[in-house]
């Protein structure tokens, strides 16, 4: 009896992890008006909190929605960062599991996100608020697997030290706390995923590429820069292909 219950729980756990993964990746992007707006927007609610700290730094969030946030300082002007982010086709270049973002017009887009075991999840989002050079906010459209809302803000760092880009997401963890815990085991907890994606964004904006210790290209990833298709014009010393004179004993 105990065993059969555990067996039944397994596929559900995997599915939960899959959705959480998708969510994590999409974390910076989405938003959902939790279907039918049963309550007030989580973001709107926490933004009215009394202290000056970012809402996501609060120790706990009551209720069943989780709020997560990250900020990163980037050594580039905010207009440039905003413009890059606003072109949603750029996003797969630094969002690990996002395979494609297709603009549908009117601020709506369709996201294809890789999930474990070769599966993929499709989400539709719409922009709910936008201020040029400052802010982009989204939510998922009704009928999406994942219910969440998010915003990314761009502001000047003090002292002329670039910009601070902050992303905040409120979401309903798939599978509740258990789902969140499972996703954490997979390293796909939205807080972690969100932080990593902002840092990849920073790398791409500051250096033009995303650091990797791999010695070979991952061909399954989209190119990081638009003209990457010409990357094979690397210059090579052909003599390298011949065996070294005093090679291995």
Partner 1 sequence: MRALTWHGTHDVRVETMPDPGIVNPRDAVIEVTSTAICGSDLHLYDGVIPGMMAGDILGHEFMGRVVEVGRKSTLKVGQRVVVPFTISCGSCYFCERQQYSACDNSNPVAKQDLTEPLYGHAMSGLFGYSHLTGGYPGGQAEYVRVPFSDVGPIVIEDDALEDERVLFLSDILPTGWMAAENADIAEGDIVAVWGCGPVGLFAVQSALLMGAGRVIAIDHYPHRLELARGLGAEVIDFEQTAVLEALMEMTGGIGPDAVIDAVGTEAHGFSIDNFLDTVKQHTLGGADSGHALREAILACRKGGRISVPGVYGGFLDKFPLGALMEKGLQLRTGQTHVQRYSRDLLRRIGAGEIDTTFLISHRLPLEAAPTGYRNFHDRQNEWTKVVLKPGQSGEMPRRSAGPDR
Residue 113: both structure tokens together = 């996100």
Regarding 248 and contact with partner 1 (CB under 8 A), the answer is yes
- Does residue number 194 form part of the binding site for partner 1 (CB under 8 A)? no
**151 closest CA partner among 123, 174, 125:** 125
Angle between helix 190-207 and 78-86 (nearest 10): 120
Say if strands 135-140 and 148-156 run parallel, antiparallel, or are unpaired.
antiparallel
89, 226 contact by CB (below 8 A):
no
Q: Which stretch binds partner 1 (CB under 8 A): 9-17, 79-87, 119-127, 210-218?
A: 210-218
Would you count residue 208 as binding partner 1 (CB under 8 A)? yes
DSSP 81: H
Q: Is residue 59 close enough to count as binding partner 1 by CB under 8 A?
A: no
CA nearest 207: which of 195, 219, 224, 190? Answer: 224
Interface residue with partner 1, options 6, 12, 39, 217 (CB under 8 A) = 217
Query: Strand 163-171 relative to strand 148-156: parallel, antiparallel, unpaired?
Result: antiparallel
* Contact of 28 with 169, CB cutoff 8 Å: yes
Q: Which residue's CB is nearer to partner 1, number 122 or number 207?
A: 207
Coil, helix or strand at residue 186: coil
**In the bound complex, what is the minimum distance in angstroms from residue 25's beta carbon to partner 1?**
13
Binding of partner 1 at residue 202 (CB under 8 A)? yes
The answer to the question of residue 132 lying near partner 1 (CB under 8 A) is no
**230 binding partner 1? (CB under 8 A):** yes
Q: Using CB under 8 A, which of 38, 214, 229, 242 touches partner 1?
A: 214
Euclidean distance between CA atoms 195 and 28, whole angstroms: 9
Q: Determine if 229 is a binding residue for partner 1 (CB under 8 A).
A: no
Say whether residue 215 binds partner 1 (CB under 8 A).
Answer: yes
**228 forms part of the interface with partner 1 (CB under 8 A):** yes
Please give the residues from 154 up to 183 whose contact with partner 1 meets the rule CB under 8 A: 161-162
73 contacts partner 1 (rule: CB under 8 A): yes
Q: What is the DSSP string of 106-125?
A: TTEEEEEEE-STT-EEEEEE
Per-residue tokens: 163: 């910009």
Cβ-based nearer residue to partner 1, 171 or 201: 201
69 near partner 1, rule: CB under 8 A: no
Q: Which residues of the chain form contacts with partner 1 (CB under 8 A)? A: 73, 75, 161-162, 187, 192, 196, 199-200, 202-203, 206-217, 224-225, 228, 230-231, 233-237, 240, 244-249
């Amino acid at each position: 009896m105990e065993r059969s219950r555990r067996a039944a729980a397994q596929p559900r756990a995997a599915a939960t992890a899959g959705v959480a993964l998708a969510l994590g990746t999409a974390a910076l992007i989405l938003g959902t008006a939790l279907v039918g707006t049963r309550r007030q927007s989580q973001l709107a609610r926490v933004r009215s909190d009394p202290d000056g700290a970012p809402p996501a730094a609060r120790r706990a969030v009551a209720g069943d929605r989780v709020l997560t946030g990250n900020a990163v300082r980037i050594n580039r002007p905010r207009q440039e960062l905003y413009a890059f982010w606003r072109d949603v086709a750029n996003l797969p270049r630094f969002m690990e599991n996002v395979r494609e973002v297709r603009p549908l017009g009117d601020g709506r887009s369709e996201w294809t996100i890789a999930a474990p075991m070769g599966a993929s999840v499709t989400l539709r989002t719409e922009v709910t608020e936008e201020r040029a050079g400052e802010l982009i906010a989204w939510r998922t459209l009704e009928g999406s697997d994942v219910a969440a809302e998010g915003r990314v803000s761009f502001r000047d760092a003090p002292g002329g030290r670039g910009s601070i880009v902050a992303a905040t997401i409120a979401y309903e963890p798939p599978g509740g706390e258990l789902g969140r815990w499972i996703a954490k085991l997979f390293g796909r907890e939205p807080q972690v995923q969100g932080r990593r994606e902002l840092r990849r964004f920073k790398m791409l904006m500051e250096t033009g590429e995303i650091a990797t210790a791999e010695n070979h290209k991952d061909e399954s990833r989209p190119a990081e820069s638009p003209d990457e298709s010409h990357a094979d014009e690397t210059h090579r010393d052909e003599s390298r292909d011949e065996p070294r004179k005093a090679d291995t004993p």
